[in-house]
Every structure is written in structure tokens, then in C-alpha cells.
């Protein structure tokens, strides 16, 4: 949080009021504005706010992480072209263990297996409680593989990924293709409609009516033959 947070201090008749804000503006009052063009680095109070002496202060101390983690996060954020101008540092007395941060490389497609093996080692050999382990990814959909692998390994977990992920366009299309391939004699018309749309191949919309009664490959071939001889005007 401290990598993106700035506070605004507003003096008032009974003392100063402090407001914290981040790049989303979610914890600032509604009348504060954050410049999208600045990447969230420009925090501006409302126009005409009667607050002489108001000022901003960057929150630079990270109170939670070990020194190596703070250093690594700061290095990563240094690649951003626009960010709040400040230097992040760990709190005095933070864990100095160089082993607190480690980079492990894995082959493509082995992330879920690698995560499961690592978490299992922490739990079984190092005695780490599951409540102390968190898996972070760039986007939530990337949690699906590790979640399934950990569940199969009997690791207790709570995940932000639920069944709604399966309804996303790309995932739904992939699952439809898999069902068609696994059971070509048990076709589902809704799956045929999904694969008609993804990937897009320029099929006319009226062709969907021919999928309604298709339950097998032979049904689909017969529908294709009829559709080739039919036009919307006929």
C-alpha cells in the first residue's frame, strides 16, 4: 500500500485532518480528484477548498514486510514511468533475513505444480500454518490452476476465484470446445453457438437456428447440408 499512497493534511479550526488516498481514489472523499493521466500520482483537493496551509505527505515506511521484500518491490516499481515520487523503506527492526525473498523459475505450464510443492513443503516440513500463506497473481484468473492443484493436494484454502470465472467469454468458449471434443455424440446446442462466435469466423447470425436440434456429429453434418441450401429469404 505504501508504494501508491499519499496523505493530504487539511488544517481546520479544531486541528488538522488527515486523508489517505491511493491510485484508485477509493478512500478519498468523492470531491477529490486523481489525475488518470498521471497514473494516480497527482492528488488534487477540490477547487476552491478554503484550506490555507494544506499539504501532502508521501507514506514511505512499509511496516509489514521484510527488508528484502521491500527492496524487491521498490525495484519492480522503479520500472513504472509514472509513480508517486517517494522512496519506500522498511520500518526500523524489519526482518533482515536475505532469504525472506526468493525468485524461483519454472517451465511454462508448471506453475500450479510448483506452487503446490512449495506450499506443501512449508506446511509439512517447516510447520507454517495455511493462514500465513498467500498466493498473489497479476490477474485473478491465474489463480485457477494453483487453486485446483492445492485442493487436489488436500491443502485448505480460501480463494477469490469462484464459479463465475467459468462464465467469462474466453473460459466459456474453451470449455465448450473441450466438451465438443470429448463427447462428439452428446453435443450441446449452446456449446455449438458459443464456438460459432469464438473465434469469430464470419458466420451469419441466422445459422444458429440450425444448431437447436443438433445432438451429435451426424446431426451437425445434416444441419450444415440443409443450411448450405437455405437462405434467409427462403
152 and 188 in a common domain = no
175 and 152 in a common domain = no
Note whether residue 138 is domain-resident.
yes
Domain count, the chain: 3
Note whether residue 213 is domain-resident.
yes
Q: What is the pLDDT of residues 168-193, one digit of tens each?
A: 888 889 999 999 899 988 888 888 88
85 and 9 in a common domain = yes
Sign of the C-alpha dihedral computed for residues 175, 177, 182 and 184 taken in this order = positive
Note whether residue 10 is domain-resident.
yes
**For the residues of 31-70, what is the DSSP string, one character each?**
T-EE-TTTTT--EEPPTT---TT-EEEE--EESSS-HHHH
Last residue of a domain, one of 122, 138, 162: 162
pTM of the model: 0.54
Note whether residue 234 is domain-resident.
no
User: How far is residue 8 CA from its own chain's centroid?
Assistant: 29
What's the mean pLDDT when you consider all of the chain? 76
Note whether residue 9 is domain-resident.
yes
87 and 1 in a common domain = yes
What's the Rg (C-alpha) of the chain?
Answer: 27
Sign of the C-alpha dihedral computed for residues 46, 48, 49 and 54 taken in this order = positive
Note whether residue 233 is domain-resident.
no
Q: What is the pLDDT of residues 190-214, one digit of tens each?
A: 888 888 888 777 777 777 777 888 8
Last residue of a domain, one of 103, 123, 140: 103
Q: What is the pLDDT of residues 18-35, one digit of tens each?
A: 455 554 444 444 444 444
60 and 149 in a common domain = no
79 and 114 in a common domain = no
Q: How far is CA 19 from CA 31, 103, 153, in A?
A: 12, 36, 45
| Residue 135: domain span | 104-162
221 and 139 in a common domain = no
Last residue of a domain, one of 88, 103, 118: 103
Alpha-carbon distance of 38 to 85, in angstroms, equals: 11
Amino acid at each position: 500500500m505504501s508504494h501508491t499512497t499519499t496523505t493530504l493534511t487539511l488544517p481546520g479550526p479544531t486541528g488538522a485532518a488527515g486523508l489517505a488516498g491511493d491510485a484508485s481514489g477509493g478512500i478519498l472523499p468523492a470531491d477529490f480528484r486523481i489525475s488518470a493521466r498521471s497514473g494516480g500520482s497527482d492528488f488534487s483537493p477540490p477547487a476552491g477548498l478554503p484550506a490555507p496551509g494544506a499539504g501532502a505527505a508521501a507514506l514511505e515506511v512499509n511496516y509489514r514486510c521484510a527488508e528484502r521484500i521491500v527492496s524487491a518491490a521498490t525495484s519492480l516499481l522503479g520500472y513504472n514511468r509514472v509513480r508517486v515520487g517517494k522512496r519506500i523503506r522498511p520500518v526500523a527492526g524489519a526482518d533482515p533475513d536475505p532469504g525472506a525473498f526468493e525468485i524461483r523459475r519454472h517451465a511454462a505450464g508448471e506453475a500450479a505444480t510448483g506452487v503446490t510443492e512449495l506450499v506443501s513443503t512449508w506446511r509439512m516440513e517447516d510447520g507454517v500454518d495455511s493462514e500465513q500463506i498467500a498466493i498473489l497473481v497479476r490477474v485473478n484468473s491465474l489463480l485457477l490452476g494453483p487453486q485446483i492443484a492445492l485442493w487436489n493436494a488436500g491443502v485448505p484454502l480460501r480463494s477469490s476465484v469462484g464459479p463465475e470465472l467459468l462464465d467469462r467469454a474466453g473460459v466459456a468458449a474453451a470449455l465448450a470446445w473441450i466438451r465438443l471434443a470429448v463427447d462428439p455424440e452428446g453435443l450441446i446446442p449452446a456449446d455449438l453457438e458459443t464456438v460459432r462466435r469464438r473465434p469469430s469466423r464470419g458466420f451469419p447470425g441466422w445459422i444458429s437456428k440450425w444448431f437447436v436440434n443438433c445432438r451429435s456429429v451426424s446431426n451437425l453434418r445434416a444441419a450444415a447440408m440443409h443450411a448450405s441450401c437455405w437462405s434467409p429469404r427462403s
